[in-house]
Amino acid sequence: MSDQQKEPLPLTEAQWIRQESEKIGTFLKSKRGDQLAAMLPEGISVDKFIGIVTTAVVREPKLLDADRASLYTASLRAATDGLLPDGREAVLNVYDTKKSIDGRDVWVPTVQYLPMVRGILKVMRNSGEVVSVDAAAVYDKDQFRFVRGDDPRIEHEPYGGEEDPGKIKAAYMIVKLASGEVQREVMWSRDIEKVRGASKTGNGANSPWTKWYDQMAIKSVIKRGAKLLPASSERLERVLQHDNDAMGFDFGHRDDAPMIDAAELPAATPAPAKPAAPALPNEVPQQKAARSRFAGIINGARGAQIGGMPV
């Protein structure tokens, strides 16, 4: 067989990941480019958004093992909110979701779009109603004081030592509005844990509460404090609802985010097989045999004695 007729070498895992990420980028550009252009806010180009999605896939290959339609849908949902799934403004997280397939309930790895604190605050600042906003988690070793009454205020001095600051004991948000009004909201750990307990994604190795507890705590107080703000922008209301959807809270909201039909997706190439575990070196069986013979000699010598007397 000539060199031209030889079958191509199988892809390495890294090559396969790169190939599949490029497929995703090509599909989003060719099939959803106009839709993305209409969704994304000024300052975020379609090419930039798609590049960040494909980078997220390369950095977290587990996304390729999940339901592929959910990956595209989650990406479009992020675009609807004007957030980048770059791990700072938002993330694409894999979480097992129960689905009915052929009449059976099956747990399917599904990609979820999850807004993060930085992204939510960005949307709040861009709403036109908020001049500045500060939100943070408070740890056991921090100095923290929250005063209500005629002179409400929050004082927070984070622990700066080298030791672990301890568990999160509170989260807070301070918002300065365009009207000059200042709104403050604090949630203590007992309230944060109630939110976690009510979330359908509150536990498990892939739970956002397990991976990013501080982010979840801060988002909880932001969503509570958002109720005190003037009429929120449509984008802010949507991003908060998308976060509630990802947390598993059902408030009867109809999700208007675009959906992807699996039938229109490009075919995914199966992942390359994992290499077989290397065979044991030749000397290992020999060493085992030597140890076995030595053990037999010892046991034979012991068996030749009864009560310390030779037989």
Range of the structural domain that residue 102 is part of: 10-114
Residue 126 counted as domain residue:
no
Residue 79 counted as domain residue:
yes
Residue 88 counted as domain residue:
yes
Instruction: Indicate the pTM of the whole model.
Output: 0.76
Q: Is the distance from CB of 198 to CB of 249 less than 8 angstroms? A: yes
Structural domain total, the chain: 1
The tokens of 215 are what? Answer: 């982010």
DSSP string across 203-221:
SSTT-HHHH-HHHHHHHHH
Q: What is the DSSP letter of 4?
A: G
Q: Is the distance from CB of 143 to CB of 179 less than 8 angstroms? A: no
Residue type, 10: P
Residue 52 counted as domain residue:
yes
Residue type, 138: V
In this structure, how many other beta carbons lie within 10 angstroms of the beta carbon of residue 56?
23
Residue 177 counted as domain residue:
no
pLDDT in tens, the chain (311 residues): 555 566 677 889 999 999 999 999 999 999 999 999 999 999 999 999 999 999 999 999 999 999 999 999 999 999 999 999 999 999 999 988 888 888 889 989 999 999 999 999 999 998 888 999 999 999 999 999 999 999 999 999 999 999 999 999 999 999 999 999 999 999 999 999 999 999 888 888 888 999 999 999 999 999 999 888 876 678 888 899 999 988 877 655 455 556 666 656 676 777 776 665 555 555 455 555 555 554 554 455 444 444 444 43
Residue 20 counted as domain residue:
yes
